[in-house]
Amino acid sequence: MDSIKIFAPATVANVACGFDIFGFAVDAPGDEVIVRKRTDNQIIIKNITGEEGKLTYDVSKNAVSVPIIKYLEHTGSKQGLDIELHKKMPLGSGLGSSSASSVAGVFAVNELLGKRLTTKELLPFSMEGERIACGSAHADNVAPALLGGFVVVRSYEPLDVFKVPTPIELYVTIVHPNIEVNTKDARHILRNEVSMKNTIAQMGNVAGMIAGLMQADYQLIASSMIDFIIEPVRAILIPEFWEVKNAALAAGALGCSISGAGPSIFAFSKGRETAEKVAIAMKNSFEKVGIHAGAYVSGINQYGPKVIG
């Protein structure tokens, strides 16, 4: 096999109460990466589409190529590669755009070179793409993009992640307004200290979310989707956030919060029909004030990246 084409999915991180520890994958959107073997040992990005010229072709500074280079160094491979990156989601969307690129790239080279590592062993390399993109090697987007499903990052030192089963009828609505929030800016405004009261309340919701997912208890999921720490601060970066959230709840959503650093907003619902109604309500809420928004409805993607060519 001399070439391979991989799709890696978008992700929702934080998931309301689970800042930096929760994330899950969706069916769409996502990124596509094509990797081809070369006859020399050069690593070259040949083409990038869908990002309006915003991403670099410098392989030492692009989230798709850095994980590949780290993987090759780790495995001792001198294989040269041509890389194509086709962005199928907006940058700065809060949907793990850089993570999808990182995961697709390193998953592609591992497949192309005979699966030298397990999928889970690719996680540290994928995280290096996040370090390039936003300055910090967080796993809450790359882990679900790579492993699929709903993922908990239990620890970073040592790195320990695990998947949590999710109910079959749990659907997510994601609405992406046509604005951009810089991840570094969204982290910068967060408070360094949190009150004991809010910490205790947040811990209760984190535990409730895990139990609700594992027991398919939709009411427990709903009551646990309250973020006392991050959402109140980051909401100021997203115009109409509270109006959109209220629209989602009024349309039947279990809960609604910011996807990652924003500006995308996600909502959980029981059943696709309700999730579709929620999508219309959230989209209309943005467009009432002249903000165009795209909407996606998906189940929880359980497989992560996949070979598509």
Provide DSSP, 197-210: HHHHHHHHHHHHHH
pLDDT value of position 185: 62
CA distance 89 to 35: 19
Q: What is the predicted pLDDT for the residue at 134?
A: 80
Question: Can you give the residue ranges of every domain in the chain?
Answer: 3-165+302-307, 170-299
- Pick the range with the lowest mean pLDDT from 96-100, 113-117, 131-135, 246-250: 131-135
Convert the pLDDT of each residue in 12-42 to its tens digit: 999 999 999 999 999 999 999 999 999 999 9
Beta strands at 306-307 and 81-86: parallel, antiparallel or unpaired: unpaired
Look up residue 235 and give its DSSP letter: G
Predicted local confidence at residue 84, as pLDDT: 98
pLDDT at residue 142 is higher than 70: yes
- Cα 179 from chain centroid? 18
pTM of the complete model = 0.95
Contact 172, 266 (CB under 8 A): yes
Q: Which two tokens stand for residue 61?
A: 């500074």
CA distance 123 to 140: 11
What class, spelled out in words, does domain 3-165+302-307 have in CATH? alpha beta
| Average pLDDT in the chain | 95
Categorize the per-residue pLDDT at 186 as very low, low, confident or very high, splitting at 50, 70 and 90. Answer: low
Q: How far apart are CA 160 and CA 169, in angstroms?
A: 28
Render pLDDT for 262-277 as a digit per residue (tens, 0 to 9): 999 999 999 999 999 9
User: Would you call the peptide bond into 263 cis, given omega within 30 degrees of 0 as the criterion?
Assistant: yes
List the CATH code of the domain at 170-299.
3.30.70.890
* Cα dihedral: 225, 164, 101, 4 (round 10): -150
- Cα–Cα distance measured from residue 226 to residue 221, given in angstroms and rounded to the nearest whole number: 10
Residue 300 pairs with which residues in a beta bridge? 26
Which of these, 302, 308, 307, lies nearest to 26 by C-alpha position? 302
Q: What is the pLDDT of residues 57-81, one digit of tens each?
A: 999 999 999 999 999 999 999 999 9
More confident residue, 176 or 191: 176
pLDDT at 183 over 70: no
Residues with catalytic roles:
130, 183
User: ω before 158 within 30° of 0 (cis)?
Assistant: yes
Query: What is the residue type of 138?
Result: H
Give the pLDDT band (50/70/90) at residue 184: low
Q: Please report which confidence band the pLDDT of residue 113 belongs to, taking 50, 70 and 90 as the band edges.
A: very high
Does position 305 have pLDDT exceeding 80, yes or no? yes
Average pLDDT over residues 200-207: 98
CA dist 144 and 157 (Å) reads 19
* Beta bridge pairs of residue 23: 13, 151
Instruction: Kindly compute the dihedral angle of the four CA atoms of residues 197, 202, 207, 209, in this order, to the nearest 10 degrees.
Output: 150
| Cβ 10 vs Cβ 100: under 8 Å | yes
CA 178 to chain centre: 18
Judged against a pLDDT cut of 90, whether residue 154 lies above it is answered with: yes
